[in-house]
Amino acid sequence: MNVIEKILAAHSPETMVHPGQIIEVALDAVMANDATACLAIDIFKNELKTDRVFDPEKVILVMDHYTPSSSIAAADSHNKMRKFALDQGLRYVYDGAGVCHQLMMEHHVLPGQLIVGADSHTCTYGALGALATGMGSTDVAVAWKEGRIWMKVPEAMRITVSGQWPAHVYAKDLILKIIGDLTVKGATYKALCFDGPAVQALRISERMTICNMAIEAGAKFAYVQPDATTEAYMKKAGREGYRVFTDDADARYERTMEYDVSALAPQIAFPHSVDNVRDISTFAGTVIDELFLGACTNGRFADLEIAAAILKGRKIAGNVRFLVTPASKDVYLQALEAGLIRIFMESGAMVSAPGCSACFGGSGGILGKGERLLTTANRNFRGRVGSPDSEIYLASPAVVAASAINGCITDPRGGLR
């Protein structure tokens, strides 16, 4: 079996599993956020007619999409979550502490675990070698009750990345390039396993960027084999006692792709599909109205640090507004202590409370008609952040920072005015 099959088998009553097989699996954690939890609460109570979650330590609720509450409806739905958490005695409920996936990675995920979340970017946890996938509210309500769920064992694809990372080229550029090649349906229902020296060279933060966007190619799971970097991350987080799975000698992958990052240029995904990907040169000079640095894709300390290094001592252009949102409270504090928040604010950026922010637009940062957003987030669907007549471009933190200074899409490799 390959490592994906082994982790699934270890969570099921089966000893061997194969792609296409439908199995019932036991879950290590079930996450829901404020875009999906309320519907799950209704289903849990009114349709499943149950009154106890399987384990109050393993049901995790996060308010991040609409926090600070941006409407009366959002405030009401947050209160519904708080009441449910209190009634059920849930141990982990986060409000305004950050994006759900960032919090899961900082406080909960262990290598080798199997986790579902009512959010499509749950696949991010593959960065620590956990299998995690997004599901809807009904599945999550069932998982809350039973602690188990049915899954189809996916085919696995292996993406091996080698080469030296060029200056100003990052994990975000690689994953955009891969999605451009795979297309938005190229990995539907599959597990995407990333390996090779250029992946091993990445920190967990950057592995998260890659795994986060696997869903944009339709994938069910993303996975990076745990190594010394993973071990160090877990140790620092104070979480030990996990099991690391590996491929058997006969491990089978449906397909293998190879990449070399040595000659990779910064990438841009242009409206309105994540697989519309080109080298930055195609869009250099495109005038921008709003910029966003944040989201579960690129709102971590490493991302803020890259952007701050470019912005230090400079001012953003007069024609743009620039919103910076640390992905969690811990990231915010770290950035504060390192002086990054000062750099952002002195450059003219707004810094907002941790959460999804302008990735989703649920708490502000909405675009008007005809406006253009350049963002470090993961989706550029039409109307995702406001007007259906606006445009969203996706890029790395370095591209966003350089573009904020010039007021137009700018190559961080020397394109600064």
Partner 1 sequence: MIEGKAIIFGNNIDTDQILGAHHLVLPTIGEMAGYTFEHHAHFTSGFAKGDILVAGDNFGCGSSREQAAAVLKERGVAAVIARGFARIFFRNAINLGLQLIVCPEASEIAAKDKLTITAEKIRNETTGKEYAREPLPPFVAGILKSGGIIPYLQKNR
- Positions in the binding site for partner 1 (CB under 8 A): 20, 22, 34-36, 38-39, 43, 47-48, 65-66, 71, 73-74, 76-77, 117-120, 122, 134-139, 142, 150, 152, 184-185, 188-189, 218, 220, 273, 360-362, 379, 381-384, 388
Cα–Cα dist 403/409, whole Å: 5
Which 294-323 positions form the footprint of ligand SF4 (CB under 6 A)? 295-296
Cα–Cα dist 135/176, whole Å: 23
- Least Å from the CB of residue 370 to partner 1: 15
Cα–Cα dist 145/161, whole Å: 40
First and final C-alpha spacing in the chain: 53
Q: Which residue has the tokens 């810094």?
A: 351
Q: Cβ closer to partner 1: 43 or 103?
A: 43
The reply to whether omega before 68 is within 30° of 0 (cis) is: yes
Contact 298, 200 (CB under 8 A): no
Q: What's the number of CA atoms in the CB half-sphere (13 Å) around residue 180?
A: 18
Q: Which of 7, 27, 37, 99 binds ligand SF4 (CB under 6 A)?
A: 99
Torsion sign over Cα 245, 251, 254, 257: positive
- Least Å from the CB of residue 394 to ligand SF4: 11
- Least Å from the CB of residue 81 to ligand SF4: 16
Q: Cβ closer to partner 1: 152 or 235?
A: 152
Q: Cβ closer to ligand SF4: 90 or 295?
A: 295
- Least Å from the CB of residue 154 to ligand SF4: 22
Strands 372-375 and 350-351: unpaired
- Least Å from the CB of residue 118 to partner 1: 6
Per-residue binding string, ligand SF4, 114-153, x by CB under 6 A, is: -----x-x--------------------------------
Torsion sign over Cα 299, 276, 173, 199: positive
Per-residue binding string, ligand SF4, 353-382, x by CB under 6 A, is: ---x--xx----------------xx----
The one of partner 1, ligand SF4, none whose footprint includes residue 374, by CB under 5 to 8 A per kind, is none
Only one of the segments 87-95, 98-106, 328-336, 386-394 lies at the binding site for ligand SF4 (rule: CB under 6 A); that segment is 98-106
The one of ligand SF4, partner 1, none whose footprint includes residue 381, by CB under 5 to 8 A per kind, is partner 1
Contact 327, 376 (CB under 8 A): no
List b or e across 118-149, with b for residues whose CB sees 16 or more CB atoms inside 10 angstroms. bbbbbbbbbbbbbbbbbbebebbbbbbbebeb
The one of partner 1, ligand SF4, none whose footprint includes residue 401, by CB under 5 to 8 A per kind, is none
Give the single-character DSSP code of 388.
T
**Does residue 198 touch ligand SF4 according to CB under 6 A?**
no
Instruction: Kindly compute the dihedral angle of the four CA atoms of residues 405, 407, 408, 412, in this order, to the nearest 10 degrees.
Output: 0
Nearest C-alpha neighbor of 40 from the set 115, 122, 140, 132: 140
The one of ligand SF4, partner 1, none whose footprint includes residue 158, by CB under 5 to 8 A per kind, is none
Which 52-71 positions form the footprint of ligand SF4 (CB under 6 A)? 64-65
- Least Å from the CB of residue 16 to partner 1: 18
Q: Return residues touching ligand SF4 (CB under 6 A).
A: 64-65, 99-101, 119, 121, 295-296, 356, 359-360, 377-378
